[in-house]
Structure 1
Amino acid sequence: MRASYKWLKDYVEFDLGAEQLADKLTMAGVPVEMIEYLGENLENVVTGKLLSVTQHPNADKLFVCKTDTGTEVVTIVTGATNVRDGQIVPVALPGAKLPVGKEIKQAVLRGVESSGMLCSAEELGIDAKLLSAEARDGIFILPQDTPVGQDIKEVLGLDDIALEFELTANRADCFSMLGLAREIAVLTEGVLKKPMLNLREVGSERTVDLVNITIAEPELCARFTGRVLQNVRVFPSPLWMQRRLRAAGMRPINNVVDVTNYVMLELGQPMHAYDYNLLARHSIIVRRAQPGEKLTTLDGVKRDLSPEMLVIADAVQAVGVAGVMGGLVTEVTNSTQTVLLEAAAFHPASIRRTARALGLRSEASGRFERGVDVTNVVRALDRAAKLLEDMGACTVCPTVADNYPRLELPRKLDFSPVFINEYLGTDIAREKMIDILERLEFEVEDHGDMISVTVPSWRSDVSRPADISEEIARVVGFEAIPATTPYGQMEQGRQSYQQSIRDLVQDMMSGMGFDEIISLSFSHPSTLDKLNVAAGSPLRQVIPVMNPITDEFPVLRTTLLGGIMQTITLNLSRKNENLKIYELGAVYWPKALPLTELPQEPIKLVAAMLGRRHGETWNQSGEAVDFFDAKGAVEEILAGLGIDGVDVTTGEHYAMHPGKTAIFSRQGQELAVVGEIHPKVLDAYGINRKIYAFEIDMEAVIEQASLIGTYRSLPRFPAISRDLAVVLDAQIPAARVAQEITVSGGPLLQDVRLFDVYAGEQVQAGMRSLAFSLTFRAADRTLTDEEVEIHSRAIVSRLENELSAKLRLA
């Protein structure tokens, strides 16, 4: 927000200089970012009238201008081609200084003495963006009624100071001159002077009979009002208005457009003017854009609209993007005779999304995004009509077309002075509090111990007693609040048990040579198609993101495997073909859609490996990783977390190869799944090599983990080892065999380890040989061969009876 220092003084008298005012406002929560002195380094430049313009006698591209400067007639030589007899122009007299760093001196040009220089807008330090196209080139031509001999700074408003505010989003009320003046009046104990409205409605027809306003989306448009102006004359706005618009950083266009911008700056209410005769059936419909609808905005750009965007339409087509920019088809031009003035209140979030989607920011959208005062809409409409009426630019039709679906009632709050003082740590008198709130235009009712206030409609940021305390504190001055040392019960910061296990798992993954990746929490539904997720799977219940960062990430992820596969694809495209990667992060599972409560966010660990088992070194083989590398990594993690007694069985996973997938579980709770990625998934990602992956449910693992193991003293007596090889059906898992051995081995059996698997010529088809190493030990004695032999026979007997296994002797 950019504000004119002199313009602010129209609403409140104050004696503070610009720096003092900026400091006072900043300390009150209305921060001033920059102070700009508009006419700085501009001296001795006055307005002059060109009495005659003749060709230079000695140069084809120079002109000799006889110029009246108010006190004398001087001769000035110029090369500008846009000068004519009778024009009023800026004249830099000898000794003048210009913001561009130039100092003007008496000179002789091709034999003709030149006593000064005619100035362009650029030489006066005026930003080209604030000028019309024709005013940017050549000498700056002033209006014909400009007095001669006046200081150019007074004529162009360059004797002013511009304050640049860096306002927070909650202070929408300060995005107007009147709102800032209200703050100044409170801080300086001045009197706020609001513009008076004595509108003369002398039009021949009533506005309510001339225009029909329909709000099809009341949740996105709280109010829409309009006034019809007849006998409109379009011409340049008065110089005083142009000065104020330029000081605020806006370019004057014509009286109708300038008035809408002026009122927006003054009252904070954006407005728009339509050529009434170009509105089909003289109707306004506030609706969502239709699929595929297009609109050419006032900047001449044809824009594609989407149904999420709110538009202003007539009976045939969209004529404006609501709250952002009007359409070119109903633009007010010099031929316009009747104008529909519009002022409305739109939903802030809707305008913000539309402006960002279109890449189109405007002064209007910036105010609508922060919220406008819905009760101020008609006042702004009347103010604009009054300004145009005073210019003799129109006749105002009686009545206002006002569509206000749901009346907004003022907010009321109760608080006690004791609460405010305890909250702030102050001792402010209740009378002082009441005085501050009344100067802020709160309606106050004193009920003794309690005070009731009615919050002004423009203060949407005040919603609770804590906000009242903030208002009182900032007006009293934060420097008046005593500084105290914070106190309270301190607690030592530490990691939770869950965080410690996650850190430990990450350390183990790094120790096994895995690299960690971090992918976005957002995904696309097509990722689930690539991962072969079934149509009815709960993983298909994705949570849509209301405001996605791009169209590629419209939902929250339900699995980490998509990020892993995308990372692998990216690495393979760059010839990085030996990978061991993992990601530890949350997935998002809704309890129901649409969301009525926060979703579940379980933590998962997903890892994948492909390529060589070892790096490409001279002393390592070129073997590729396989299923057992992935399975071993899972076993290493579970062992590191103290999880024993794990059952490993064949299983299924949506993204893994049938028959090449294993499930790790303990006490009926699934902990992890490991397997080879399904060929369909590999094809979907365009990968032509095998990938092995595993997924660990961290919540289940944390529940089963035991970081502090049970203490056992080192064995004092030697162990006895026996090797056992059995032939049995190839479909029987080795884990089942190991389980039967453990059950039948008795208390002396301490360890069972599979060390050989054989299926070939020496074994019957459909069978395989499994060889186990068995370790027996007693804690109180040295075992004898006879004792071990008893247990060995029991093991063999059970395997024969339960699994139809046969002892392999050779």
Structure 2
Amino acid sequence: MQVSIKWLKDYIDFDWSAEELADRFTMAGVPVENVIRADEGLDHVVTGRIEEITPHPDSDHLQICQMNVGGKERIQIITGAQNVAQGQIVPVAMVGAHLPNGMHIKKGKLRGLPSNGMLCSAGELHLDLTKLAEEEKDGIYILPSDTPVGVPAKDVLGLDDVVLEFELTANRGDCFSVLGLVREIAVLTGNEPKWPVIRCEEDDAAKTADLIQTGIEATDLCDRFSVRMVKNVKVAPSPEWMQQRLEGAGIRAINNVVDVTNFVMLELGQPMHAYDYDEITGHTLTARRAKAGENLHTLDDSSRVAKGEELVIADSEHPAGLAGIMGGLESEVTEKTTTVVFEAASFYGPSIRRTARACGLHSEASGRFERGVDVTNTPRALERACQLLQEMGACTVTQGIVDCYPQPKTPVTIDFTAAQINGRLGTELPGSRMVDILTKLGFVIEETGEGRYRATVPSWRNDCTYMEDLSEEVARIYGFDNIAGTTPFGRMMQGRQSARQTFIERIKQILAALGMTEELSFSFTSTELLDKLRVPQESELRRAIPIMNPLTDEAPLVRTCLLTSIMENAVRNFSRKNMDLRLFDVAPVFYPKQLPLTELPEEKTKLVGLITGRRQEVGWNQGNEQVDFYDMKGIVEELFARLGISKYTVEAGEHFALHPGKTACFKKGREVIAVVGELHPEAAENFGIKQKVYLFEMDVETLMKYTAKNFHFSSLPKYPAIARDLAMLVDEDVAAADIERVIAKHGGKHFTGVTLFDVYTGKQVAAGKKSLAFNLTFQSKDRTLKDEEADAAFQQILAAVEQQFHAELRA
């Protein structure tokens, strides 16, 4: 928001410069971002009269002007402008002036004759050319003939103003008005404000209630809806003073009716809208939700299709405007308008914000409704608008206001003690000083005991609900620089990572060392992503928490599954032709205990990984082999090895997002610690992926539970190992992992390991059978093992395998 110093001084007197006022505002918690001077570059520009004008003897287009600029002597200025004449009063840039366009005026000579200044055009003074007649835009700017001579040009041109540009925080909606800022100045200076007397004369016999009907259907989105009417309207330009106030606030003047609504919005902080009464179908205005598919035709001549969630102001047939954002084009006030309906309302801020963001349509009005307006202010705003238009002689005012206010706002009260506020601020202010500050800010204070008080919050301060809010009000007016700085007391503790944080860092380091790249993702998802990932309809993963005000419509849920995030990032990479990926993500997911939420959800940290594309980087000496299931399985096994997770089993498994038959579960006992597999073909098609993608998913808390806490080291073996190969025929559905478990169980005390080194099916193997070949190792720690001992263990293993799997030994 921006406002001119002149406008503020219309309501309160103060002696501070613009810079001092900006500093006081900022230190009081109403930050000023910038001080804009309308007269910048006009310090040495004055008004002057052309007393004599003669042609230059050595030029056919230059003229010599003898100028009266208010001094004892005339000055000579040579100009090439052709629109000047003797007796005219013009702006004169004296020697030493630095004009707004960057020009520096110095003494000089033109064709041998001295020139001590410059006559200025409108463009050189940075005047608003859109407000000037065509003949005033070119050549020297000619001032009215009664303009005094020798006075600063900025005073004559109305450029003697300074504009403060505020960067207000979202909670200070009350300061999005001139009177709100005046209220702050009154507290800071101690001066009494000159509040405008708001009263209009109801000089038209017609009753407003007989001419128009109003109502509120969406009572959760609209607290109050008020209208007032004016007749015999004469649409014309607004007065110069009003145009200057609006321009100082960055708003373009349009006509007296529209300018009045903007003026009241800026002055009182209450957005308004004006409707052409004759264009309101049924002469009815209702605040309701839009119907899905309705056409919203707004003043910017854009048509939008309603989704059914927007709040609109509708007549008896169709929407007449987007509530709190922009009016409708059909009911716009034009030069033909003779009867106007003024509307002022209080809307639910989050609804206005969502609609404005969805439509990409932010306005001065929506910005105020988003921050909250004073619900008690709507009749006052209507009265002010009618008063201003009436003072211009542009209307007559009908009898009464139609005010729909179904649930009047109950004033907020806050109990506090002086000791509470002093304890929070670290001050020793007496309670009377606090009462004085809060009273000046508009709070009504009642003493309920010794040092105990009850504050009734003014209707315009929607941000004050707790004692802490009152302490902030006291602190900012008393002055933060008047509060002594103290060092917080407390026991010093060494900052360190938790065991869980350290474990996660270790996981990241291991996976990065294995050539994978960590991704960072938002904690948001959508039903569409869950559908693409084939999450079953009955799955708990679909019980996601909806976000009240999502950043985008594409991600309205809090994620319950980390796979959606990594797949979304993978697709984004594919769209940019990055086809070789090795990604991992360690991040939280959120499970609600019940919906809607009544307590914080359960938060769990998940680990997911994704690989796809070439196994090696592109190079002249590298092959073009693609990664496969065993690359991903190897990454998981290496991660477990470095975390000290051992004695797990690997079994064929199932997962909704993974390919059946190409999915493995890593287990400790019956608990699954990791799932690895190829992306399901249907999921790949849903995401538009045309290459093999391999994924793993783990729970960090589960990994942490099984990671080794203590490590034991043994010396390298001194004695040689004995190896035996075991090749056998088994049924095709027998898992090698099951055979390895039996081998380990019956291998005896010298058994040290088993490795599957060959799998064969083909012509030399009967149908329904497969050949598996294992390498077995035996080794003693304290002596050289004998072949007879290894053979005995081998026979034990063979007997167990033959018995349990009906295996046949191959020669």
- How would you bin the TM-score normalised by the shorter chain? 0.7 to 0.9
**Partner residue in 2 for 1:742:** 744
- Letter aligned with residue 376 of structure 1: N
Aligned residue for 2:362, secondary structure, equals coil
- Note closer, same or farther for the CA distance 1:541–1:308 as it changes in structure 2 (3 Å cut): same
Q: What is the CA–CA distance in structure 1 between the aligned matches of 2:561 and 2:762, rounded to whole Å?
A: 41
* Cα displacement string for residues 287-339 of structure 1 (whole angstroms, at most 9, x for unaligned residues): 22233333443334444443232221211222222112222222222332221
- Note closer, same or farther for the CA distance 1:657–1:503 as it changes in structure 2 (3 Å cut): same
Q: What is the CA–CA distance in structure 2 between the aligned matches of 1:41 and 1:613, rounded to whole Å?
A: 67
**Partner residue in 2 for 1:403:** 404
Alpha-carbon shift at residue 135 of structure 1 (Å): 10
**Partner residue in 2 for 1:174:** 175
- Letter aligned with residue 239 of structure 1: E
Alpha-carbon shift at residue 791 of structure 1 (Å): 3.6
Does residue 651 of the first structure (1) align with residue 653 of the second (2)? yes
- Letter aligned with residue 627 of structure 1: F
**Partner residue in 2 for 1:28:** 28
Q: What is the CA–CA distance in structure 1 between the aligned matches of 2:156 and 2:591, rounded to whole Å?
A: 66
- Letter aligned with residue 405 of structure 2: Y
Does residue 92 of the first structure (1) align with residue 91 of the second (2)? yes
Q: What is the CA–CA distance in structure 2 between the aligned matches of 1:133 and 1:315, rounded to whole Å?
A: 44
- Note closer, same or farther for the CA distance 1:532–1:173 as it changes in structure 2 (3 Å cut): closer
Higher alpha-carbon deviation: 729-738 or 519-528 = 519-528
Contact in 2 for aligned 1:216/1:286 (Cα 8 Å): yes
- Letter aligned with residue 376 of structure 2: T
* Cα displacement string for residues 456-502 of structure 1 (whole angstroms, at most 9, x for unaligned residues): 11111222111111111111111111122233223222222222222
Does residue 387 of the first structure (1) align with residue 388 of the second (2)? yes
Alpha-carbon shift at residue 568 of structure 1 (Å): 5.0
Q: What is the CA–CA distance in structure 2 between the aligned matches of 1:575 and 1:421, rounded to whole Å?
A: 62
**Partner residue in 2 for 1:730:** 732
Q: What is the CA–CA distance in structure 2 between the aligned matches of 1:133 and 1:673, rounded to whole Å?
A: 77
**Partner residue in 2 for 1:674:** 676
Q: What is the CA–CA distance in structure 2 between the aligned matches of 1:303 and 1:90, rounded to whole Å?
A: 53
Does residue 224 of the first structure (1) align with residue 212 of the second (2)? no
Contact in 1 for aligned 2:571/2:687 (Cα 8 Å): yes
Contact in 1 for aligned 2:632/2:696 (Cα 8 Å): yes
Contact in 1 for aligned 2:519/2:585 (Cα 8 Å): yes
Q: What is the CA–CA distance in structure 2 between the aligned matches of 1:216 and 1:132, rounded to whole Å?
A: 47
Contact in 1 for aligned 2:46/2:93 (Cα 8 Å): no
Contact in 1 for aligned 2:81/2:140 (Cα 8 Å): no
Alpha-carbon shift at residue 455 of structure 1 (Å): 1.1
Contact in 1 for aligned 2:346/2:369 (Cα 8 Å): yes
Q: What is the CA–CA distance in structure 1 between the aligned matches of 2:613 and 2:167, rounded to whole Å?
A: 55
Aligned residue for 1:602, secondary structure, equals strand
- Note closer, same or farther for the CA distance 1:617–1:366 as it changes in structure 2 (3 Å cut): closer
Aligned residue for 1:664, secondary structure, equals strand
Alpha-carbon shift at residue 555 of structure 1 (Å): 4.0
Contact in 1 for aligned 2:48/2:69 (Cα 8 Å): yes
Contact in 1 for aligned 2:222/2:347 (Cα 8 Å): yes
Residue segments in structure 2 that go unaligned for 5+ positions in a row: 51-60, 63-67, 72-77, 111-116
Q: What is the CA–CA distance in structure 1 between the aligned matches of 2:764 and 2:536, rounded to whole Å?
A: 43
- Note closer, same or farther for the CA distance 1:297–1:759 as it changes in structure 2 (3 Å cut): closer
Contact in 2 for aligned 1:234/1:336 (Cα 8 Å): yes
Matches within 5 A, 1:44-193: 91-92=90-91, 99-100=100-101, 101=103, 120=122, 122-127=123-128, 131=131, 137=137, 149=148, 153-154=154-155, 157-193=158-194
- Note closer, same or farther for the CA distance 1:453–1:137 as it changes in structure 2 (3 Å cut): same
**Partner residue in 2 for 1:586:** 588
Matches within 5 A, 1:68-467: 91-92=90-91, 99-100=100-101, 101=103, 120=122, 122-127=123-128, 131=131, 137=137, 149=148, 153-154=154-155, 157-447=158-448, 448-467=450-469
* Cα displacement string for residues 340-375 of structure 1 (whole angstroms, at most 9, x for unaligned residues): 111111111222222223332322222122111111
**Partner residue in 2 for 1:58:** none
Aligned residue for 1:13, secondary structure, equals coil
Aligned residue for 2:743, secondary structure, equals helix
* Cα displacement string for residues 145-191 of structure 1 (whole angstroms, at most 9, x for unaligned residues): x9754966446532222222222111111111111111111111111
Alpha-carbon shift at residue 621 of structure 1 (Å): 5.9
Alpha-carbon shift at residue 213 of structure 1 (Å): 0.9
**Partner residue in 2 for 1:507:** 509
Higher alpha-carbon deviation: 519-528 or 463-472 = 519-528
Aligned residue for 2:330, secondary structure, equals helix
Please give the root-mean-square deviation of Cα atoms over the aligned residues, in Å: 4.1
- Note closer, same or farther for the CA distance 1:590–1:427 as it changes in structure 2 (3 Å cut): closer
Contact in 2 for aligned 1:606/1:694 (Cα 8 Å): yes
- Letter aligned with residue 5 of structure 1: I
Higher alpha-carbon deviation: 91-100 or 546-555 = 91-100
Aligned residue for 1:492, secondary structure, equals coil
Contact in 2 for aligned 1:726/1:771 (Cα 8 Å): yes
Q: What is the CA–CA distance in structure 2 between the aligned matches of 1:235 and 1:139, rounded to whole Å?
A: 29
**Partner residue in 2 for 1:497:** 499
Count of residues in correspondence between the two structures: 785
Q: What is the CA–CA distance in structure 2 between the aligned matches of 1:78 and 1:618, rounded to whole Å?
A: 73
- Note closer, same or farther for the CA distance 1:7–1:685 as it changes in structure 2 (3 Å cut): closer
Q: What is the CA–CA distance in structure 2 between the aligned matches of 1:321 and 1:143, rounded to whole Å?
A: 44
Aligned residue for 2:774, secondary structure, equals strand
Matches within 5 A, 1:469-548: 469-548=471-550
**Partner residue in 1 for 2:708:** 706
Higher alpha-carbon deviation: 346-355 or 681-690 = 681-690
Contact in 2 for aligned 1:293/1:305 (Cα 8 Å): yes
Alpha-carbon shift at residue 436 of structure 1 (Å): 1.1
Contact in 1 for aligned 2:648/2:666 (Cα 8 Å): yes
Aligned residue for 1:408, secondary structure, equals coil
Q: What is the CA–CA distance in structure 1 between the aligned matches of 2:492 and 2:774, rounded to whole Å?
A: 57
- Note closer, same or farther for the CA distance 1:197–1:142 as it changes in structure 2 (3 Å cut): farther
Alpha-carbon shift at residue 670 of structure 1 (Å): 0.8
Alpha-carbon shift at residue 669 of structure 1 (Å): 0.8
Q: What is the CA–CA distance in structure 1 between the aligned matches of 2:271 and 2:256, rounded to whole Å?
A: 16
Alpha-carbon shift at residue 226 of structure 1 (Å): 1.0
Contact in 2 for aligned 1:69/1:91 (Cα 8 Å): no
**Partner residue in 2 for 1:111:** none
Aligned residue for 2:163, secondary structure, equals strand
Aligned residue for 2:475, secondary structure, equals helix
Contact in 2 for aligned 1:323/1:346 (Cα 8 Å): yes
- Note closer, same or farther for the CA distance 1:346–1:70 as it changes in structure 2 (3 Å cut): farther
Contact in 2 for aligned 1:611/1:625 (Cα 8 Å): yes
**Partner residue in 2 for 1:86:** none
* Cα displacement string for residues 24-53 of structure 1 (whole angstroms, at most 9, x for unaligned residues): 2221111222223323444666699x9xxx
Aligned residue for 1:584, secondary structure, equals strand
- Note closer, same or farther for the CA distance 1:535–1:133 as it changes in structure 2 (3 Å cut): farther
Contact in 2 for aligned 1:78/1:118 (Cα 8 Å): no
Q: Which residue, 587, 604, 607 being the options, matches 1:605?
A: 607
Alpha-carbon shift at residue 540 of structure 1 (Å): 4.0
Does residue 763 of the first structure (1) align with residue 765 of the second (2)? yes
Aligned residue for 1:328, secondary structure, equals coil
Contact in 1 for aligned 2:81/2:139 (Cα 8 Å): no
Q: What is the CA–CA distance in structure 1 between the aligned matches of 2:304 and 2:483, rounded to whole Å?
A: 53
Contact in 1 for aligned 2:729/2:810 (Cα 8 Å): no
- Letter aligned with residue 24 of structure 2: K
- Note closer, same or farther for the CA distance 1:565–1:390 as it changes in structure 2 (3 Å cut): closer
**Partner residue in 1 for 2:5:** 5
**Partner residue in 1 for 2:57:** none
Residue segments in structure 1 that go unaligned for 5+ positions in a row: 51-60, 63-67, 84-88, 109-114
Identity across aligned pairs (percent)?
Answer: 48
Higher alpha-carbon deviation: 510-519 or 449-458 = 510-519
Contact in 1 for aligned 2:662/2:677 (Cα 8 Å): yes
**Partner residue in 2 for 1:14:** 14
Higher alpha-carbon deviation: 91-100 or 235-244 = 91-100
Aligned residue for 1:287, secondary structure, equals strand
Q: What is the CA–CA distance in structure 1 between the aligned matches of 2:689 and 2:734, rounded to whole Å?
A: 33
Q: What is the CA–CA distance in structure 1 between the aligned matches of 2:107 and 2:720, rounded to whole Å?
A: 111
Q: What is the CA–CA distance in structure 2 between the aligned matches of 1:16 and 1:576, rounded to whole Å?
A: 61
The alignment's TM-score, normalised by the length of structure 1, stands at: 0.86
